[in-house]
Amino acid sequence: MKSKLIVGNWKMNGSLAANASLLADIQKGMSGVTCRAAVCVPAPYLAQMQALLSGSALAWGAQDVSAHEAGAYTGEVAVSMLRDFGSRYCIVGHSERRQYHAESDALVATKAQRALSAGITPIVCVGETQAERAAGQTEAVVKRQLAAVIHTNGHCISEIVLAYEPVWAIGTGLTATPEQAQEVHALLRKQLQAASAHADRISILYGGSMNAANASTLLDQPDVDGGLIGGAALKAPDFLSILASASC
Q: Domain-by-domain residue ranges, the chain?
A: 5-246
Superfamily of 5-246 according to CATH: Aldolase class I (3.20.20.70)
Give binding residues for substrate as ranges: 9-11, 171, 209, 230-231
Give binding residues as ranges: 9-11, 171, 209, 230-231
Structural contact between residues 39 and 71, judged by C-beta atoms closer than 8 angstroms: no
Please tell me the distance from the alpha carbon of residue 40 to that of residue 44, in angstroms, as a whole number: 12
Q: pLDDT at position 165, please?
A: 95
Q: pLDDT at position 174, please?
A: 76
| Residue 223 burial (CB count, 10 A) | 17
Q: pLDDT at position 208, please?
A: 87
DSSP bridge pairs for 162: 124, 204
Helix (H, G, I), strand (E, B) or coil at 144: helix
Q: pLDDT at position 212, please?
A: 95
Q: What is the pTM of this model?
A: 0.97
β pairing state of 36-41 and 5-9: parallel
- Rounded-to-10 torsion of CA 31, 24, 162, 91: -160
pLDDT in tens, the chain (248 residues): 689 999 999 999 999 999 999 999 999 999 999 999 999 999 999 999 999 999 999 999 999 999 999 999 999 999 999 999 999 999 999 999 999 999 999 999 999 999 999 999 999 999 999 999 999 999 999 999 999 999 999 989 999 999 999 998 877 777 789 999 999 999 999 999 999 999 999 999 999 889 999 999 999 999 999 999 999 999 999 999 999 999 98
56 alpha carbon, distance to own chain's centre: 20
Q: pLDDT at position 171, please?
A: 72
Q: pLDDT at position 187, please?
A: 98
- Read off the pLDDT of residues 119-174 as tens digits, 9 standing for 90 and up: 999 999 999 999 999 999 999 999 999 999 999 999 899 999 999 999 988 777 77
What amino acid positions are annotated as catalytic residues?
94, 165
